[in-house]
Amino acid sequence: DLKANISGNFATSFETISDVKKVEFELFCLEGQASFPEKSMFFGGYQIKDMRMNGHFTTQNPSIFLENFEGIFNGSEVYGSASLTNLNTTPHINAAFDAHQIPVDQLSRIWPQNLATSTRNWVLKNISGGTLKDITAYMDFSVDDLGAETLKRNQIFGEFRVEDTEVEYIDGLPPAENLFADGWFDGVDLHIDIETGKILDHGIGGTTLEFLDVYTGKEIGLLDLRSTGPLSDLAIFPGFSAKFISWFESKKTQKIEGMGTATLHIHFPLISGLSVQDLTTKGEVTFQQFSLQRNLRLLGQSQLNISDGAGRIVLEDHSLTGHAKATINQMPFEIEWSTL
């Protein structure tokens, strides 16, 4: 539904009216509104300002070609071109769009409702704040697909950059914040390369997030997490047991120091209420300069003092193996362990 005052001009040439084969046009709209029904590919209302388009339509095999259009839609500048061909048989849409900047909170309006529905639901629920920039999109589908339950493979492609956004990736764990990333949808899978960001005080540069098999109805997420930061933020690492983290963060632990580096490969289903128990986690955490003070009687002393700690912990599904060296209450120790 379009509510707008549109002005413009048309031009053609012919000897008789039956000779008209091509009509050129230029159209303008200073302000207006467009809305889509709830079950269409796009939905909701759009405020339109300063829209301009020029193109032509042909009478043989009737088709419409928008060689250029531009305008402001819900406060965001959009540029592009499009065509609507085979109007007498099976109408087909081909379009390319560019937008310099769109708030992440507007993502639900530009992500088609019938494209990768499980991925769409997960992203819209868990990613918030920040800005999408340098957006390009290419679409190629028939008009009948506008009302289809799901789009097919290789009908939509896109690239984008996201800045200063936040991801609530797993219930009960701290969110990833201040994320700056590049992303692309290759017609089959969605890929996001995170340049910089943080979880608590851990930097997570060089991290990738992918949503695979988005057309099968069995989409999965794959997070390759690389982080470096203080060991006191151990809770960010999926794969450690809640009991271990609880002991590590107990009020009896008076001081924790040291640095850790994690390289984790995490598979997860695209479900609401995702928890650590739903993950498949593999990888390793290395640490150095580890020190800990805890009120615990050990070796005849009333306090546990660990210093000069360094080691490696390997996560394999829900098991842990590790090796560490440290000084415990002024005595050198070396330990290896494994849990199932």
Q: Which residues of 172-203 are buried (b: 16+ CB within 10 A; e: fewer)?
A: ebebbbbbebebebebebbbbebeebbbbebe
Share of residues in the chain with pLDDT > 70 (%)? 85
pLDDT band at 38 (very low <50, low <70, confident <90, very high): low
- In angstroms, rounded to a whole number, what is the distance separating the alpha carbons of residues 51 and 41? 22
Q: Tell me the CA distances in angstroms from 285 to 7, 197, 253, one per residue in order.
A: 64, 19, 21
pLDDT band at 37 (very low <50, low <70, confident <90, very high): low
Query: For the purposes of burial, counting CB atoms within 10 Å of the CB of 313, is it exposed (0-12), middle (13-18) or buried (19 or more)?
Result: buried
- In angstroms, rounded to a whole number, what is the distance separating the alpha carbons of residues 243 and 235? 11
| pLDDT tens figures, 158-192 | 999 999 999 987 776 788 999 999 999 988 889 99
pLDDT band at 298 (very low <50, low <70, confident <90, very high): low
| pLDDT tens figures, 187-215 | 888 999 999 999 889 999 889 999 887 77
Q: What's the whole-number mean pLDDT along residues 295-303?
A: 66
Q: What is the residue-averaged pLDDT of the chain?
A: 84
- Does the structure show a pLDDT above 70 at 2? yes
Instruction: Report the amino acid identity of residue 316.
Output: E
Q: What's the whole-number mean pLDDT along residues 226-253?
A: 68
More confident residue, 134 or 117: 134
- Phi and psi at residue 168, to the nearest 5°: -90, 85
| pLDDT tens figures, 96-129 | 999 999 999 888 888 877 777 888 888 888 899 9
Do 161 and 182 meet the contact criterion of CB atoms below 8 Å apart? yes
Q: What's the whole-number mean pLDDT along residues 218-235?
A: 85
pLDDT of residue 128: 92
22-26, 48-52, 187-191, 286-290: least confident range: 187-191
240 sits in the region (left: phi over 0; alpha: psi -120 to 50; else beta) called beta
pLDDT band at 87 (very low <50, low <70, confident <90, very high): confident
Q: What's the whole-number mean pLDDT along residues 270-288?
A: 81
CA atoms within 13 A on the CB side of 62: 5
pLDDT band at 12 (very low <50, low <70, confident <90, very high): confident
Strand-strand pairing, 280-294 and 253-269: antiparallel
- In angstroms, rounded to a whole number, what is the distance separating the alpha carbons of residues 79 and 91? 23
Q: What's the whole-number mean pLDDT along residues 70-91?
A: 90
More confident residue, 239 or 103: 103
pLDDT of residue 96: 94
pLDDT of residue 82: 93
Place of tokens 């912990």: 313
